[in-house]
Every structure is written in structure tokens, then in C-alpha cells.
Chain A
Amino acid sequence: GQSLEQPSEVTAVEGAIVQINCTYQTSGFYGLSWYQQHDGGAPTFLSYNALDGLEETGRFSSFLSRSDSYGYLLLQELQMKDSASYFCASRSAGNMLTFGGGTRLMVKP
């Protein structure tokens, strides 16, 4: 089976840095993806880590440690528009995704 754990909610202030952790127990693990979803909107792709290490894309970075079955999404210079739900998702054969429960990020002024 597949399971991913992430915090249900995180609150931070504008301009701050926040880290959203994800631990996983999956079989046939190919890599870890992160998706952002605003209320009422569709999930949109943020990043994908197939190998250990840090991937940086603008204000967002994602990290993976396969040996620890752990990853995180790092958001820097937080903006109000970053308030959304963030899902980690394990990728398995056939490009299948299993999503974690999601972390609701609230950015306050």
C-alpha cells in the first residue's frame, strides 16, 4: 500500500519561510511530487524529486531523502497568494500518483 503523512495545517506571516514536511511509506516509489491547490481550484504542479537532494524553482524548493522516506517543500518570501493547500504525492510505475492528505497553508499579513 501507499501512505503519505503531512501536517494538516501551517500558518506563517508574509515574507517568512515555511517548510512543509512529508513522510511516505510506499512500494514501487519513483519520486515525490508537490502540488498546490487553491480553494475551489485544480491542483497545479510545483516540483518533482526523483533523486535525493534539493530542487529549486524560484521561491519554492523541494527536497527528497530516499533513505529517510522523507521530503519537504520550502516556500520562501511568502506572499498572501501562497495561501492554499499543498499536497505531496508519491509517483509510482505508470506515472501514478498517490496523494498525501494535504497541508493547508495560511499566510497572514
Chain B
Amino acid sequence: DAMVIQNPRYQVTQFGKPVTLSCSQTLNHNVMYWYQQKSSQAPKLLFHYYDKDFNNEADTPDNFQSRRPNTSFCFLDIRSPGLGDAAMYLCATSREGGGEQFFGPGTRLTVL
């Protein structure tokens, strides 16, 4: 089945220790998104890509970076995680022309 896959599902890191979250998709969508969702809050867009064209939301902290080496894969790098970065990180994809966004199951990040 075509889908959006995120690894790992649960990630524990230490304060200040870099961490990378990964996302892959078999939908062949050219738009990919990274969202941060804290408990009982709405998903908040961090970045999105049109193909390799990177778009950073204005209020995304500099601590967060992203890479998209090809259509199928996208990575979220958190250079120096703080306690406030503990959250669920959701990857999503869509076709360029619009339509629904397809979400992966998320990676829950814990920062100790």
C-alpha cells in the first residue's frame, strides 16, 4: 500500500544532543511537509518542500533544519534539542496541485 513512513516511532535524546528524524513516502508526491505537534495542540508547520525547493516557516527556530535528498525521503534535523522541543513530529505529503495531505504516524520525541 502507498503510504508515508516515519522512523523511528519513538526517539529519546538528551538535552543538546543532535537528533535526526526520517520520513519516506511511496506516494510519489512532490510536496512534503514537517509539522510539530505538542500535546493537545494543533499541528504546526515547520517546513515544506516542493520537489527540492525548500520553504522555511518564518517562526521555525534555527535549531531545526531539513534535508530532502530525493523525492521519497525527507529528514528533520534538530541540532541542539531543548526540553521545549519534546513533541510529536509529523511528516505529510501531497500532490503539487492540492488535495489532501497524507500524514505519517509521527515520531514522538522525548528530550531528557
Residues on the A chain within 8 Å of B45, using CB: 96-98
CB atoms of A95 and B94 under 8 A apart: yes
* Chain A residue nearest to B31 in the complex (CB): A95
Q: Which residue, B96, B100, B105, has most C-beta atoms of chain A within 10 A?
A: B100
CB atoms of B99 and A95 under 8 A apart: yes
Which residues of A come within 8 Å of B, CB atoms? 30, 33, 41-45, 48, 87, 91, 94-102, 104
Return 15 A-B CB contacts under 8 Å, by A number.
A41-B106, A43-B43, A43-B90, A44-B103, A45-B100, A48-B99, A94-B31, A94-B50, A95-B94, A95-B97, A95-B101, A96-B45, A97-B45, A100-B42, A101-B41
Which residues of B come within 8 Å of A, CB atoms? 31, 40-45, 48, 50, 90, 94-106
Which 9 A-B pairs have CB atoms at the shortest separation, nearest pair first?
A99-B42, A45-B100, A42-B103, A95-B98, A43-B103, A42-B105, A95-B94, A99-B43, A101-B42
